[in-house]
Structure 1
Amino acid sequence: MIEFRDVSKVYDHNGNELRAVDHVTLKVDKGEIFGVIGFSGAGKSTLVRMVNQLEKPTEGNILVEGEDLTKLSKPEVRRVRKRIGMIFQHFNLLESKTVRHNVGFPLALVGTPKRVIQKRVTEILEFVGLEDKADQYPEELSGGQKQRVGIARALATSPDILLCDEATSALDPETTKSILQLLKRVRDEYNLTILMITHEMNVIKEVCDKVAVMEKGAVIEQGTIFELFSNPQHQTTQNFIRSVIESDIPASILRGIEKRGAGRHIYRVTFVNETAGEPILSQVSKRFDVDVNVLFGQITELQGIPFGHLVVEIQGEDKEIVKAIDHIQSAVTVQEVYSHAG
C-alpha cells in the first residue's frame, strides 16, 4: 500500500547539509495501522509529509498502491492525494466555519454537488459522534471534539490512506484513548490503511500493528508490536518501551539482594497470550529444589492479547536452578538480568 525505498530528504541550512530523513526503507501493508515513533527532530513528520507530497524526497522512491509518486506529474499527484486523508496535531480547523462546513470543505474544493456534500457530511458526523454539533463553531468544542471534526474532514473524500501527524499529543489521556478507539473503528469499518507518527509509546501500544523507531532521520528498528516489546534491540527503543512497561530492577531491590549474599540469580520472565495465566513459577517451586521470589512485574495487553513480564529471584543449587530455568523456558521466554554468585 505505502512503500518507502531508500528515501532521504536533505535540506540546505546556511550552506550545511541537514539530512532530515536518512535512507529510510519501510513497507506499510493494506489495512495496517503502522506507527512511526521518535523524539522531536527524528524526521518522522518529514517522512509522513512525503506520502502526500507536501515534501519531495531528495533521494529514493515512494510508492502508493504501486504508483511511484516521485515519477508522477503534478496533475497525477493531485489525483493520488484525493485518496489520502490527513489528521493534524492542532486540528487545523477553519475557526469562522461551522463543523458542517469544516467537514464538507474538502468536497467543496473539488466541486462536489451540495446535495452530495450534505449527505456525506451527515454520515461522517454520525460516525464520529458529532451529529449534534454540526452547526457549532470550533471555539465551542473541546479538544477531543475538534479532533473528531478533523477525523471527519479527513474521511469526507473517502480516502484509502489516513496520515496522522501527532494526532493525540494535544489531548488529555482519557480523550486520547477515545480518539485511538475511533481510529481503530475507522480502520476496521472503512478498511483504511493508517500511517501514524507519534512520540508517545502508549499510542503505539494501543492501536498499532507494526512500528518503526526513528532517530536522527534513520529507522533504527522496526517490526511487529510483539517483536519490539518482547525483544527491543536498540537503546532508544528500550527507553520508549520503559515509558509504558517498567522493567528495570529498582536500585533498592538490587541493594537488598547484594546484602543477602551469594547464590542470587535474577531473571526476567516474559509471558504472552495463554501463558500469562499459567502457574508456571508455582510449578517450578514444587518440582525443583529452588525458591522463587517475585520481585515485581506487569501484565498489559498488546492488540487485545495479554503480554507481560515478571522479574524473579531464583535461589538454590546451580544444577537445580538450571533445571528450573529449562522448565520455564519450555513455556515462556527467560533472560538472566543479574547474577550475584559471591
Structure 2
Amino acid sequence: MIRFDQVTKTFEHEGGKLTAVDQVNLEIKKGEIFGVIGFSGAGKSTLIRLVNQLERPTSGRVLINDQDLSALSTRELRGIRRNIGMIFQHFNLLETKTVYHNVAFPLLLAGTPKNEVKEKVEEILDFVGLKDRAKHYPDQLSGGQKQRVGIARALATSPSILLCDEATSALDPETTKSILKLLRKVRDEYNITILMITHEMNVIKKICDRVAVMEDGSVIEQDTIFNLFSNPQHPTTQKFVQSVMNDEIPASILSEVESRHIYRVTFNEGTAGKPILSSVAKKFDVDVNVLYGQITELQHIPFGNLVVEFQGNQEEILKAVNDIQQAVRIQEVKVDAS
C-alpha cells in the first residue's frame, strides 16, 4: 500500500546539509495501523510528510499502490492527495467556521455538489459523535472534540490512507483513549490504512499492528507490536518499551543483600497461564521469590513479564533455569546492589 524504498531527505542547514530521513525502507500494508515512534528530531515528522509529498525525497522512492509519487504530474499528484487524509497535533481548524463548515471545507474545495456535501458531513459527524455540535465553533469545543472534528474533516473525501501527526499529544490520557478507540473504528469500518507518528509508546501499544522505531533519521528496528514489546533489540527501543512496561526493580529491594540470582521471565500466549515457576520450585531445591510482575495484552495476546529471584545453591539454580528455558524465555538480570 505505502512503500518507502531507500528514501533519503536532506535539507540545507546553516551552510551545510541536514539528513532528516536516511535510507529508510518500510512497507505499510493495506488496512493496518502502522506506528512510527522516535524522540524529537528522529525524522518521523519528515517521514510522514513524504507520503503526501509535502516534502519530496532527495533520493529513493515513495510508492502508493506501486505508483512512484515522484514520477507523477502535478494533476496526478492532486488526485493522489485527495485519497490521503491527515490529522494534526494542534487540530488546524478554521476558527471562524462552524464544525459543519470545517468538515465540509475539503468537499467544497473539490467542487462537490452542496446536497452531497450536506449528506456526507452529517454522516461523518454522526460517525465521530459530533452530530449535535454541527453549528458550534472550535472555541466552544474541548480538545477531544476538536480532534474529532479534525478526524471528520480528514474522512470527508473518503480517503484510503489516514496520516496522523502526533494526533493525541495535546490530549489528556482519557481523551487520548477515546480518540484511539475512534481511530480503530475508522480502520475497521472504513478499511482505511493508518500511518501514525508519535513519541508515546503507550499509543503504539494500544492501537498499532506494527511499529518502526526511528533514530537520527534511520529506522533502527521494526516488528509486530508483540515481538517488539516482548523482545526489543535496540537500546532506544528498550527505553521506549520500558517507559510503558515499568519493569525496573526498586533500589530498596536490590540493596537488601549483596549477592542475588535475579532473572527476567517472559511468558507468551501459550505459557502465560501455566504454573511454570511453582512447578520448578517443586522439581528442584530452590525457592522462587517474585520481585516484580505483570500480565498485559498485546494485540489480544497475553504477555507476562516477571522479575524473579532464585534462592538456593548454584547447581540447583542452574538446573531450574535450564528447565524453565525449555518453555519460556529467561534472562539473568545484572544488578549493582551498591
Shared fold, TM over 0.5:
yes
One-letter code aligned to 1:23: Q
Q: Which residue of 1 aligns with 2:36?
A: 36
What is residue 153 of structure 1 aligned with on the other side?
A: 153
Alignment-derived partner of residue 66 in structure 1: 66
3-state SS of paired residue (1:102): helix
Partner of 1:297: 293
Task: Determine whether 1:318 maps to 2:314.
Answer: yes
Partner of 1:81: 81
Q: Aligned partners of 2:321 and 2:298: how far apart in 1?
A: 26
1:195, distance to aligned residue in structure 2 (A)? 0.3
Residue 115 (structure 1) aligns with: 115
Residue equivalent to 1:306 = 302
| SS of aligned partner of 2:278 | helix
Instruction: Check the 8 A contact 1:107/1:157 in 2, yes or no.
Output: yes
Cα-to-partner distance string for 1:21-46 (whole Å, 9 max, x where unaligned): 11111111111110000111111000
- The 1-side partners of 2:190 and 2:333 are apart by 45
Aligned residue type for 1:112: T
Q: Residue in 2 aligned with 1:227?
A: 227
Runs of at least 5 residues in structure 1 that lack an aligned partner in the other structure: none
Q: Which residue of 1 aligns with 2:49?
A: 49
SS at match of 2:246: coil
Q: How many residues align?
A: 336
Give CA-to-partner distance per residue, 1:119-178, whole Å, 9 cap, x none: 111111111111111111111000000000100111111100000000000000000000
Query: CA shift at 1:300, angstroms?
Result: 1.7
What is the letter of the counterpart of residue 19 of structure 1? T
Measure how far apart 1:283 and its partner are: 1.3
Match for residue 236 of structure 2? 236
Unaligned runs of 5+ in 2: none
Scaled by the length of structure 1, the TM-score of the pair is 0.95
1:93 aligns with 2:89: no
Helix, strand or coil: the match of 1:338?
Answer: coil
Inter-partner Cα distance in structure 1 for 2:175 and 2:276: 38
- 1:265–1:339 CA contact under 8 A, matched in 2: no
Shift of 1:317: 2.9
Shift of 1:13: 1.1
How far off its partner does 1:339 sit?
Answer: 7.6
**Aligned residue number for residue 281 of structure 1:** 277
SS in 2 for 1:187: helix
Identify which range, 172-181 or 217-226, moves more after superposition. Answer: 217-226
| Structure-2 separation of matches of 1:195 and 1:339 | 39
Residue 270 of structure 1: which of 266, 270, 286 is its match?
266
8 A Cα contact 1:268 1:310, kept in partner: yes
Q: Percent identity?
A: 70
Q: RMSD across aligned C-alpha pairs, in angstroms? A: 1.3
8 Å contact from structure 1 (residues 98, 136) kept in 2? yes
